[in-house]
């Protein structure tokens, strides 16, 4: 899966779960500060991403995923 | 406040979403016209249930709430928010912009987020704990509807959620009266919500043999005081009223619907679900509410009865009304049209009582074709009754033996 495909998949999840405009989703954007994803919604995003990309994202990894780019990189490295 | 006397409390805003309509105007128009909001449940999940009729909200609350916000809310919370927004706007509080430390919320629910509980349990079993929604707890907690209403208007004067089954939202309104009288707030958003038209609650109430099984005639199923009544019909929705200190409402030139002149709460001490057949504490609640209003029983022109269309409850209440209020009130049960909204019933029926007082019209009890032999009071059977209503009672009784009577007075 390419980084573009992962980013597009994340944008779909962010729109569905948190009402984020897909066109706002870019690597440098922070989930909490720039995309306004609150803590409970972040849990939903993580679980949905695990399902969609077939990847495990442990709870202690989530604080390291500050930006969309962090998440894309993590998924790229860890996807089955 | 310049005076130490107990402040008077008036109603300055109304909001509702019911089986008859998505707002107060359409609900009231439906009631006065004698329309039934009861329909056949044609969803697959209803096929095996002994009861396949209910009064679903005529206007889905998700039509009025942002999609992302709505998916984090139980249906009962959505309905409460829709009704509260209407009441807030109707009272003119948007432009008035009251000091939020002087605003409180008192919005209850009889059952609350049971739909969320069941849905997430299904998800837990099917897909494991990690897939359970992180929004589960705020969706199922019974204070959730009140909390969402409080958040919507950034209320800072306290958020409360009564729970007394089918007396819930009348108790919530009574609590709102106490809050203003005791000086803890000047404005209270008060009412209740319920949205449990799904298999488990229907099966549970049906197992108690409490529900009508007149599945082939949905609009004729809810028939309080009629010989053919065979149980209540479930309804869903929410109602919220704005209670306000009368001098505050006058100072800002608010439109006043009616005065909430008195309230009373008693308990049967008899059985977990059966009302005391003597109706002693139902009658006492009515007498106390009238006395709290500074009125006499003979002043009460109209009673919006709790009457749910069950064989025992309806006639017990008639006897209690006779005992407490006398023979003069014109009685009605608007549940004949809306079905029984459980924790929202008291609020919807308070709104009906308030509008009866204001407009001088008692909405009908429909389907009253063959009155029970013990029906010894004047019921507004099948057609609305135009009459002066200087003062009226709204009765609400709940499983657990909760009795609440509210007294509304014309201004």
The verdict on B235 and B273 lying in the same domain is no
The verdict on B199 and B278 lying in the same domain is no
CATH number at residue B340: 3.40.47.10
The verdict on B307 and B223 lying in the same domain is no
Is there a domain that residue B211 lies in? Answer: yes
- Token pair 């009672």 in the structure block, residue: B393
Range(s) of the domain holding residue B326:
262-409
**B197-212 per-position pLDDT tens digit:** 999 999 999 999 999 9
Asked if A18 is an interface residue toward chain B (Cβ–Cβ < 8 A), one would say yes
Q: Among B294, B320, B292, which residue's Cα sits nearest to residue B306?
A: B320
Q: Let me know if A38 is a catalytic residue.
A: yes
- Report the DSSP pairing between strands B330-332 and B302-304: parallel
Domain edge (last residue) among B200, B221, B251: B251
The verdict on a CB contact (< 8 Å) between A19 and B135 is no
Q: Distance from A20 to chain B by nearest Cα, in Å?
A: 9
The verdict on B218 and B292 lying in the same domain is no
> Could you give the residue numbers annotated as active site of B?
166
The verdict on B47 and B172 lying in the same domain is yes
The verdict on a CB contact (< 8 Å) between A19 and B134 is no
Residue B30 has pLDDT above 50, yes or no: yes
The verdict on a CB contact (< 8 Å) between B133 and A19 is no
Residue of chain B nearest A43, judged by CA positions = B134
Which residues from chain B sit within 8 angstroms of residue A18, using beta carbons? 68
Largest Cα–Cα distance of chain B, in whole Å? 63
**B372-409 per-position pLDDT tens digit:** 999 999 999 999 999 999 999 999 999 999 999 999 99
Give the residue-averaged pLDDT of A4-13. 97
Asked if B134 is an interface residue toward chain A (Cβ–Cβ < 8 A), one would say yes
Rounded to two decimals, the pTM is: 0.96
The verdict on B241 and B277 lying in the same domain is no
Which residues from chain A sit within 8 angstroms of residue B70, using beta carbons? none
**Predicted ipTM of the assembly:** 0.90
Asked if B66 is an interface residue toward chain A (Cβ–Cβ < 8 A), one would say yes
> What is the rounded radius of gyration, in angstroms, for the C-alpha atoms of chain A?
11
Q: Distance from B147 to chain A by nearest Cα, in Å?
A: 17
Q: Distance from A42 to chain B by nearest Cα, in Å?
A: 9
Domain edge (last residue) among B219, B251, B283: B251
**A17-70 per-position pLDDT tens digit:** 999 999 999 999 999 999 999 999 999 999 999 999 999 999 999 999 999 999
Q: What is the pLDDT of residue A79?
A: 86
Chain B interface mutation, best of A15, A22, A47, A52, highest count of B Cβ atoms under 10 Å = A47
Q: What is the pLDDT of residue B5?
A: 82
Range(s) of the domain holding residue A69:
3-78
Is there a domain that residue B378 lies in? Answer: yes
Q: What is the mean pLDDT of chain B?
A: 97
Partner-chain residue, chosen from A19, A43, A44, that has the shortest CB–CB distance to B67: A19
Residue B3 has pLDDT above 90, yes or no: no
The verdict on a CB contact (< 8 Å) between A47 and B68 is no
Say if residue B4 is exposed, middle or buried (CB neighbours under 10 Å; 0-12, 13-18, 19+). exposed
B118-154 as b/e, with b when 16 or more CB fall inside 10 Å?
bbbeeeeeeeeeeebbbbbebbbbbbbbbbbbbeebe
Helices and strands in chain A, H and E counts: 3, 0
Q: What is the pLDDT of residue B4?
A: 63
Which residues from chain A sit within 8 angstroms of residue B130, using beta carbons? 47, 50
Partner-chain residue, chosen from B68, B72, B131, that has the shortest CB–CB distance to A47: B131
Domain edge (last residue) among B251, B282, B303: B251
Name B262's bridge partners: B407
Q: Specify whether the CB–CB gap between B245 and B265 falls below 8 A.
A: no
- Provide the domain count of chain A: 1
- Return the percentage of chain B with pLDDT > 70, whole number: 99
The verdict on B16 and B158 lying in the same domain is yes
Phi, psi of B355 (to 5 degrees): -75, -30
Q: What is the pLDDT of residue A25?
A: 97
Residue A14 has pLDDT above 90, yes or no: yes
Asked if A44 is an interface residue toward chain B (Cβ–Cβ < 8 A), one would say yes
Is there a domain that residue B405 lies in? Answer: yes
Q: Specify whether the CB–CB gap between B98 and B187 falls below 8 A.
A: yes
Q: Distance from B137 to chain A by nearest Cα, in Å?
A: 11
Of the listed A12, A21, A27, A38, which one is catalytic?
A38
Q: What is the pLDDT of residue B1?
A: 43
Asked if B62 is an interface residue toward chain A (Cβ–Cβ < 8 A), one would say no
The verdict on a CB contact (< 8 Å) between B68 and A18 is yes
Rounded distance between C-alpha atoms, residue B207 and residue B243, angstroms:
38
The verdict on a CB contact (< 8 Å) between B133 and A17 is no
Asked if B154 is an interface residue toward chain A (Cβ–Cβ < 8 A), one would say no
Residue B265 has pLDDT above 70, yes or no: yes
CATH number at residue A53: 1.10.1200.10
**B39-55 per-position pLDDT tens digit:** 999 999 999 999 999 99
Asked if B126 is an interface residue toward chain A (Cβ–Cβ < 8 A), one would say no
The verdict on B267 and B312 lying in the same domain is yes
Q: What is the pLDDT of residue A80?
A: 67
**B85-109 per-position pLDDT tens digit:** 999 999 999 999 999 999 999 999 9
**B321-369 per-position pLDDT tens digit:** 999 999 999 999 999 999 999 999 999 999 999 999 999 999 999 999 9
The verdict on B102 and B237 lying in the same domain is yes
Of A54-58, B2-6, B104-108, B248-252, which gets the smallest average pLDDT? B2-6
Q: How confident is the model at residue B2 (pLDDT cuts 50, 70, 90)?
A: very low
Is there a domain that residue B195 lies in? Answer: yes
- Return the percentage of chain B with pLDDT > 90, whole number: 99
The verdict on B214 and B330 lying in the same domain is no
The verdict on B296 and B247 lying in the same domain is no
The verdict on B110 and B58 lying in the same domain is yes
Q: Distance from B158 to chain A by nearest Cα, in Å?
A: 25
Partner-chain residue, chosen from B66, B130, B134, that has the shortest CB–CB distance to A40: B134
- Provide the domain count of chain B: 2
């Amino acid at each position: 899966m390419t980084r573009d495909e992962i980013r597009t998949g994340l944008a779909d999840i962010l729109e569905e779960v948190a009402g984020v405009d897909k066109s706002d989703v870019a690597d440098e954007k922070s989930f909490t500060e720039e995309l306004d994803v609150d803590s409970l919604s972040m849990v939903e995003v993580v679980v949905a991403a695990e399902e969609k990309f077939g990847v495990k994202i442990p709870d202690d990894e989530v604080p390291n995923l500050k930006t969309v780019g962090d998440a894309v990189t993590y998924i790229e490295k860890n996807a089955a | 406040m310049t005076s130490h006397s107990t402040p008077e409390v008036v109603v300055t805003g109304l909001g509702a979403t019911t089986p008859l309509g998505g707002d107060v105007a359409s609900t009231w128009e439906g009631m006065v016209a004698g329309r039934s909001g009861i329909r056949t449940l044609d969803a697959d999940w209803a096929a095996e249930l002994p009861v396949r009729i209910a009064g679903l909200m005529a206007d889905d609350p998700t039509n009025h709430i942002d999609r992302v916000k709505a998916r984090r809310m139980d249906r009962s919370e959505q309905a409460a928010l829709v009704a509260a927004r209407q009441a807030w706007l109707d009272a003119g509080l948007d432009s008035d912009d009251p000091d939020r430390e002087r605003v409180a919320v008192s919005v209850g629910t009889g059952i609350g987020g049971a739909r969320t509980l069941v849905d997430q349990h299904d998800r837990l079993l099917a897909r494991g704990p990690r897939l359970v929604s992180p929004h589960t707890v705020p969706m199922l907690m019974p204070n959730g509807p009140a909390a969402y209403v409080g958040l919507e208007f950034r209320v800072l004067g306290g958020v409360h959620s009564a729970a007394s089954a089918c007396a819930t939202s009348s108790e919530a309104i009574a609590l709102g009266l106490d809050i203003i009288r005791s000086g803890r707030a000047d404005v209270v958003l008060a009412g209740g919500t319920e949205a449990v038209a799904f298999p488990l609650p229907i099966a549970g109430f049906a197992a108690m043999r409490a529900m009508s099984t007149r599945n082939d005639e949905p609009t004729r199923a809810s028939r309080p005081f009629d010989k053919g009544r065979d149980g209540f019909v479930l309804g869903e929705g929410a109602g919220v009223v704005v209670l306000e200190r009368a001098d505050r409402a006058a100072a800002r030139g608010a439109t006043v619907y009616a005065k909430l002149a008195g309230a009373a709460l008693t308990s049967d001490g008899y059985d977990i679900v059966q009302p005391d057949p003597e109706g002693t504490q139902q009658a006492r609640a009515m007498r106390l509410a009238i006395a709290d209003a500074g009125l006499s029983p003979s002043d009460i022109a109209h009673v919006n009865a709790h009457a749910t269309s069950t064989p025992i409850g309806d006639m017990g209440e008639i006897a209690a009304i006779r005992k407490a209020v006398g023979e003069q009130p014109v009685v009605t049960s608007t549940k004949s049209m809306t079905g029984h909204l459980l924790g929202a019933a008291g609020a919807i029926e308070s709104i009906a009582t308030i509008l009866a007082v204001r407009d001088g019209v008692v909405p009908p009890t429909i389907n009253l074709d063959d009155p029970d032999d013990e029906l010894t009071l004047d019921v507004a059977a099948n057609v609305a009754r135009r009459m002066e209503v200087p003062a009226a009672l709204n009765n609400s009784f709940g499983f657990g033996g909760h009795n609440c009577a509210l007294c509304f007075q014309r201004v």
